[in-house]
Amino acid sequence: MEHERRQFLDDLLATASPSGYEVPGQRVWVDYVESFADDVRVDEYGNAVAVHEGGDADASIAFAGHGDEIGFIVREVTDDGFLTIGRVGGSDKTVTQGQHVTVHTDDGPVEGVVGQTAIHLRDGDDGEAPDIVEQSVDIGVAEGEDAEELVEVGDPVTFAQRVRELEDGRLTARGMDNRVGIWAAAEGLRRAVEAGADATVYAVSTVQEEVGLRGAEMVGFDLDPDAVIACDVTHATDSPGVPGKKSTGVELGEGPVVARGSANHPALVTAVREVADGEGIDVQLQATGSRTGTDADAFYTARGGTPALNLGLPNRYMHTPVEVIDAEDLDAMADLLGAVGAVADSHAPFDVGL
C-alpha cells in the first residue's frame, strides 16, 4: 500500500468515532476526498458525500461505507469517582474488562481502564463476564466531584488501541469495522477519477450504522443513485474457535467478498463479478439469504428500490479491540471499486430483466 494511502488509513483508525460522535473521523475523511472530488457535502447529522461529476453518461453509482464504530458511553459518575458505562452498538462484554480506554470529553481525552477484580479475590469464579452496565471505568480519581470536573454523563468511550502490523501484510486495530469501508469508498472514488469515469461516482461515509443503519436511511433517500455498493467488513471464519456451523469459507488474503441473496441486486452482483474477472481481481462469494447486516439493507429499499450490493472485506475477531484484516484484500477492494466506477455507464441501468 502506498505511503499516502496507508497514512490515510492510519489516521482513520487513530480517530475515535463511536456512533453519534463521528465528527472527528468524518473530518479526516472529508479532508482526504476534497483533493480529488468535484464536490463534498455534509448533512446535519454528519453523513459525508463526495462526488465525481463524470462526463456525458447518464448513470450514477455510489460507494458507501459507515464511519462510526462501536464503543461505550458514560452512564453515571459514582460518588467514589468511577464511571459506569453502557453500550454504543454491539460491544462485547467478554473483551471489555482489563482494557485501557479513552473517555472523549469536550475538553480533550481522559485516560482510564475498565477494571477487573483480580483472580485471587474472585469467589466462585464461573468465568462469566458481567454485563457492560455492571462494569466500571477507573480514571484514577478518589472522589466523584473530581471525576465530574473531568467527564460528563454522555461522553463517549473507546478502547485505547493503535494500529499494529502483523506478519504477511496483516494489520490489527480496533475499529477496522468500518474504517476500512470508508477508506475503500474514498479510494474507489479516487481510482475511478483517475480512470476518467464517465458516470457520476459518489463516495459516501455514513453515520450511525452500528445503531441501526440510520445514516444510510438518510443518505439513501437524498442521493438517489442508480446503484449503491455498501463497503463493509464481513466475518473471516478461518481462525480457530469459529463454530463449524458458522463457517462461511471466507478467508483472509483471498480477496474482497461479493454477497449474494437478499439485498444484493443480481444485475449489480453480475456486473461487479464481470469487472473483477476482467481486471484479474480475485473475489470470494458469500450467501446472505435474509439480510446483510450492513448499510446495503437500508439503501436497497430507499426511494422505492435502489439496486444495492454488499462488498465485504474479510475481518477476523469483529467487534473486539484486535480486529485483523489483510492489506492486500483492502487494496484489491479499492481497485475493484475504481474499476466498477470507471465502467458503470456500460452496465447501467441495473434491473432484473423482466
Residues 78, 60 share a domain:
no
pLDDT tens track for 86-108 = 999 999 999 999 999 999 999 99
pLDDT tens track for 16-50 = 999 999 999 999 999 999 999 999 999 999 999 99
pLDDT of residue 121: 84
Residue 209 bears catalytic tag: yes
Residues 105, 193 share a domain:
no
pLDDT of residue 123: 77
* 354: in domain: no
Q: Mean pLDDT across the stretch 261-271?
A: 95
Residues 246, 192 share a domain:
yes
Residue 354 confidence class, pLDDT cut points 50, 70, 90: confident
Residue 2 has pLDDT above 80, yes or no: yes
* 168: in domain: no
For a pLDDT cut of 90, what percent of the chain falls above it?
89
Average pLDDT, the chain: 96
107 annotated to bind ligand: no
131 annotated to bind ligand: no
Residues 318, 253 share a domain:
yes
CATH number, domain of 92, equals 2.40.30.40
pLDDT of residue 281: 98
Residues 224, 110 share a domain:
no
* 23: in domain: yes
Residues 107, 89 share a domain:
yes
pLDDT of residue 45: 97
- Among the candidates 133, 159, 185, a domain finishes at 159
Residue 139 confidence class, pLDDT cut points 50, 70, 90: very high
pLDDT of residue 127: 73
Residue 79 has pLDDT above 90, yes or no: yes
- Among the candidates 159, 186, 215, a domain finishes at 159
Residues 292, 210 share a domain:
yes
Residues 77, 50 share a domain:
no
235 annotated to bind ligand: no
Q: Which helix (H) or strand (E) element contains residue 315? A: strand 308-315
- Residue among 22, 187, 209, 254 flagged as catalytic: 209
Residue 126 has pLDDT above 80, yes or no: no
pLDDT of residue 209: 97
210 annotated to bind ligand: yes
pLDDT tens track for 311-344 = 999 999 999 999 999 999 999 999 999 999 999 9
CA-closest candidate to residue 15, choices 33, 34, 31: 31
* Whole-angstrom distance, CA of residue 315 vs CA of residue 90: 16
Sheet with 164-165, edge to edge strand ranges = 164-165, 170-173, 323-326
* 269: in domain: yes
CATH number, domain of 257, equals 3.40.630.10
Residue 151 confidence class, pLDDT cut points 50, 70, 90: very high
Do 210 and 70 form a contact (C-beta atoms < 8 A)?
Answer: yes
Place of cell 467487534: 319
* Whole-angstrom distance, CA of residue 104 vs CA of residue 152: 10
Residue 1 confidence class, pLDDT cut points 50, 70, 90: confident
- Among the candidates 128, 159, 190, a domain finishes at 159
Into how many domains does the chain fold?
Answer: 2
- Which DSSP string corresponds to 122-161? -SS--SPPPPGGG-EEE-S-SSHHHHHTT--TT-EEEE--
Residue 69 confidence class, pLDDT cut points 50, 70, 90: very high
* 166: in domain: no
Residues 82, 47 share a domain:
no
Residues 91, 211 share a domain:
no
Do 233 and 354 form a contact (C-beta atoms < 8 A)?
Answer: no
* 8: in domain: yes
pLDDT tens track for 193-229 = 999 999 999 999 999 999 999 999 999 988 999 999 9
pLDDT of residue 313: 98
232 annotated to bind ligand: yes
pLDDT of residue 128: 85
- Taking the complete model, does pTM exceed 0.85, yes or no? yes
Residue-range definition of the domain harbouring residue 202: 3-69+174-347
* 352: in domain: no
Residue 104: helix, strand or coil by DSSP? Answer: strand
pLDDT of residue 120: 85
Residues 189, 57 share a domain:
yes
Residues 327, 199 share a domain:
yes
